[in-house]
Amino acid sequence: MILGLSHMGLTVSKLDSSLDYYQKKLGFTVLSDAERKGEWVEKITGIPGFHTRSVYLSLSPRHHFEVFGFFHPQVIPPERESRFRVGILGCVLNTDRLESLLVRDDPEEARRWAPLLGRKEEPFDGCRIIHLKDPDGLSLRVLEEKVERMKAQSPLADLRYPVFLVENMEASLSFYGDLLGLRVDGEGKNSPGEVEGEGATPGKSARWAVLRSRAGFCLKLVSPSDSEILPAAPWKMQRIGFTHAAFGVENLEGYYLRLKDKVNFKSPPTPVNAGPHQGGQAVYLTSPEGITLEFIDSPLIRESWKM
């Protein structure tokens, strides 16, 4: 079963610039920093000759970003489109107080700050939110809410959930809910004009649903209404952008065996030989609409959720 969200993978154009942004502007800390190559990671990702510098950036003991700087294959620029496309739109993070974010000390961000306050993030009506972009233009929405901080103390409190754009909401709810075991915590429809991201059209609305696991919120689905939605692009981990969402699971071997005839896995569970999840196992899979997920079971996962 899925215990909760573990981390988000993202490929960047200039690793050092992105690390500087996430650490100095948003308060992430380095959990591990190492090159990844070899048969074990090729098997997990399905990418021959895979070679990256992979840095895990932590916000809390449970949640982190896995940032990839590719040596091979060559990095691919992001696709800029005028229409919606199935995929990962961005991430929602949270903080106790928006004004505490270090990114506000940047003169360029400070000029943008006031107009960006006050956006909505369902289902958290009444909370302030700000929409930021990292050096590669990846979407980060920071929600202000009172949270119980864990061991890590940073301007950001934690990673809330990724946001997936889907075409068929009912089929997606069946996949993530009925098959994978997540529970719908809330759903509704955005007011016209509040759909953001590439392909957004003024006056269009979107249906949304927030799902949770045993550990809390872990995923948000959005589906624009009356809009053309392109299918997910073929998955290439070396393309700049959010690459996948990783979920910590209990008993990966058993979970895999239960799902393997119903889910498109890239491989059987494979040992993880480096990084914070060393000593565990991981497997990549693809949703019916083409969004890449990772299931991971490791000593860090088990310790984080006190199994």
Q: Which are the contacts of 304, defined by CB distance < 8 A and separation ≥ 6?
A: 61, 62, 248
What is the structure's pLDDT at 27?
Answer: 84
Which of 21-25, 74-78, 288-292 bottoms out in mean pLDDT, i.e. has the lowest?
21-25
What is the structure's pLDDT at 193?
Answer: 44
What is the structure's pLDDT at 60?
Answer: 82
What is the structure's pLDDT at 44?
Answer: 87
| SS3 category, 133 | strand
Cβ atoms 28, 119 nearer than 8 A: no
| Separation CA 256–CA 191 (nearest Å) | 39
Q: What is the number of other CB atoms lying within 10 angstroms of the CB of residue 105? A: 10
Contacts 24+ apart (CB under 8 A), 23-27: 23/57, 24/102, 25/101, 25/102, 25/103, 25/105, 25/106, 25/109, 26/93, 26/101, 26/102, 26/103, 26/140, 26/154, 26/155, 26/156, 27/59, 27/101, 27/102, 27/154, 27/155, 27/156
Residue 224: asked if its preceding bond is cis (omega within 30°), the reply is no
Instruction: Please say if the pLDDT value at position 263 is more than 50.
Output: yes
Instruction: Please say if the pLDDT value at position 112 is more than 70.
Output: no
With tokens 């988000």, the residue in question is 8
What is the structure's pLDDT at 192?
Answer: 44
Angle in degrees, CA 297, 300, 305, rounded to 5: 85
Q: Which domains does the chain have, with CATH numbers?
A: 6-77+235-304 (3.10.180.10), 84-230 (3.10.180.10)
Distances (CA, A) of 32 to 56, 142, 168, 293: 5, 24, 37, 21
Instruction: Please say if the pLDDT value at position 206 is more than 60.
Output: yes
pLDDT-above-90 percentage for the chain? 61
Digit-coded pLDDT (tens) for 177-205: 999 999 999 999 875 444 554 444 444 68
Angle in degrees, CA 192, 195, 197, rounded to 5: 155
Q: In terms of C-beta density within 10 A (0-12 exposed, 13-18 middle, 19 or more buried), how is residue 61 classed?
A: middle
Instruction: Please say if the pLDDT value at position 288 is more than 50.
Output: yes
108-129: average pLDDT: 61
Which two tokens mark 194? 């509040």
